[in-house]
């Protein structure tokens, strides 16, 4: 039976609120050693994604104060690329390649239930497909 997104996703997903400060988001990323966090409301409904690159480019490089800038001010919204928990890992691969993203939030109904990274896919697909994925994402601006 073909593996589904739920079979390979990381289920222990931390997230931040749009009202959190960028400093709080950066601190959480550092503690968890991750480069991106989903932005969710109290019902775990996805509202965006914030990455370490967002913080570097949209806050630090522009001289904004991370203590007073909110996640809402910098997170990618509202078009976050996601995948359903019961979607195939082939669809996850295609979605990552088409949208040139390294991480895919996994949705079940309206809630974020996991996240799939490029690495999660790499250990679950054949080497040729891994190469295609890395090449597609690395070509992204």
Q: Where are the domains of the chain?
A: 5-138
E strands in the chain: 36-40, 46-51, 83-84, 103-108, 111-117
Here the tokens at position 42 are 């109290």
pLDDT value of position 136 = 67
pLDDT value of position 122 = 78
Q: Is the pLDDT of residue 141 over 60?
A: no
pTM of the model: 0.80
pLDDT value of position 130 = 62
Place 37 in a pLDDT band, splitting at 50, 70 and 90.
very high
CA distance 141 to 137: 9
Mean pLDDT of all residues in the chain? 87
Torsion of CA 116, 82, 47, 63, to 10 degrees: 70
CATH architecture of the domain covering 5-138: Roll (3.10)
- The residue whose two tokens read 């739920």 is 6
Torsion of CA 118, 124, 126, 132, to 10 degrees: -20
Backbone Cα Rg of the chain: 15
Here the tokens at position 91 are 């669809």
CA distance 114 to 8: 9
pLDDT tens column, 48-104: 899 999 999 999 999 999 999 999 999 866 578 899 999 998 899 889 888 888 889
Q: Is the pLDDT of residue 131 over 80?
A: no
CB-CB contact of 96 with 9 (8 Å)? no
């Amino acid at each position: 039976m073909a593996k589904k997104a739920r079979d390979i996703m990381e289920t222990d997903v931390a997230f931040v609120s749009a009202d959190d400060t960028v400093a709080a988001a950066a601190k959480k990323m550092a503690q968890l050693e991750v480069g991106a966090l989903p932005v969710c409301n109290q019902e775990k409904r996805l509202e965006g994604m914030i990455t370490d690159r967002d913080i570097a480019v949209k806050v630090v490089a522009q001289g904004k104060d991370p203590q007073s800038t909110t996640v809402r001010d910098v997170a990618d919204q509202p078009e976050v690329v996601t995948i359903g928990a019961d979607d195939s890992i082939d669809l996850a691969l295609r979605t990552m390649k088409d949208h040139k993203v390294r991480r895919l939030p996994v949705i079940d109904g309206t809630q974020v239930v996991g996240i799939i990274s490029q690495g999660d896919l790499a250990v679950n697909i054949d080497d040729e497909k891994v190469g295609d994925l890395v090449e597609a994402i690395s070509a992204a601006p």
